[in-house]
Chains A and B, each alone.
Chain A
């Protein structure tokens, strides 16, 4: 049996690194009465995984954590337990019990939605340029990876890009092979618009997958 929690990481907690979050969650789980399954070996630890690491500095309301349990639990109780174990700036939105055969979240994650709030004198210039960007076929940008820098065409990795007031709504690819991060896209848009004087705040609003018929659904709904 597994349980998937959807939770947020907001406010000042956006500056907690992913590694620190993992360690923190291990301790949080020990504050609950959930029948968490532990790994074997010299240093047993809870069997848990995150759908995707969130970069330091970004907020989110859509993080997913997948925990293996040794037996089934009442979801309402599990929700209440996790809420009590986390601080207010890590709100737990919902949870779902799935069986062991349920696909691994990480394997099915395909794209993510972001809301990028813009402020400052040049914000409007950036927003004005998004139609131009979407009309291109090829936009080359340098992506930093663990193995170094690589020039990639980011346009096909941009599923959609819209403006809503002073915010950009982005739907971007997020798979091991094809990933476009919102800060990279924002940088490209700013460069194209010749914008330098602006501030931004990045929120992840959804983690998405494709269902059996190829439609886009929330990763949690799979």
Chain B
């Protein structure tokens, strides 16, 4: 599920953007090393394939059909880190060219679908890809990738103060489970056909057991954020209280327009706006400096 701009709390935006920037930078570095720069076209073209694949409909009966989302297929054919980079590129193009998901919300969408979704989906595959459970691993991986990213998106929305009534929440959960099962089945159908057609496509990626750790981390992250959202949807509010931006957060989280007008002391906007901009500039500067330093050390 692609979250558009405007729905997420600034703290969620900042947190998810930081997490996914780090994760994607590490994944890009790993992918580049794994592919030895010799297959630079591969990730882009497989990413384009995912777009094209969404035009092939799988009939479900009852006059409905569905299409592949592709995260698990990328993970199985490319490997963990390259799949994360490819999925990130797909999400960037969807946000910029197709207005599918927001640009500021890209941090959250990348974290949900490209980082946590793919890592969670890879968990069963990393454990069982060689044994007799291989087909089940792909099925379970497709399921986990969709459910983890969908659950994280819902939790981030709830934490941002987008109230969702219980009935709607339950029906979304059912929908999520169904589309997770479907993604597993679709991935399985494609992988089986691919094994008959071109087995070498499935041997490109080296599966390492140790990668399961990342999958466990992703599942824990998804579970944790869902637990926080369901136990304490107002946690950002109290956190904001402590950090000292209570007024602003309350104005964002709770509806009444009148409230923030009263609670905003004149003069405090400027300091907050300046502090926010300064913090942003500092974070960006630190990130660029770190990247430069890493690059220099690597080339030295």
Q: Do A and B bind each other?
A: no
Binding site for A on B (CB under 8 A): none
Binding site for B on A (CB under 8 A): none
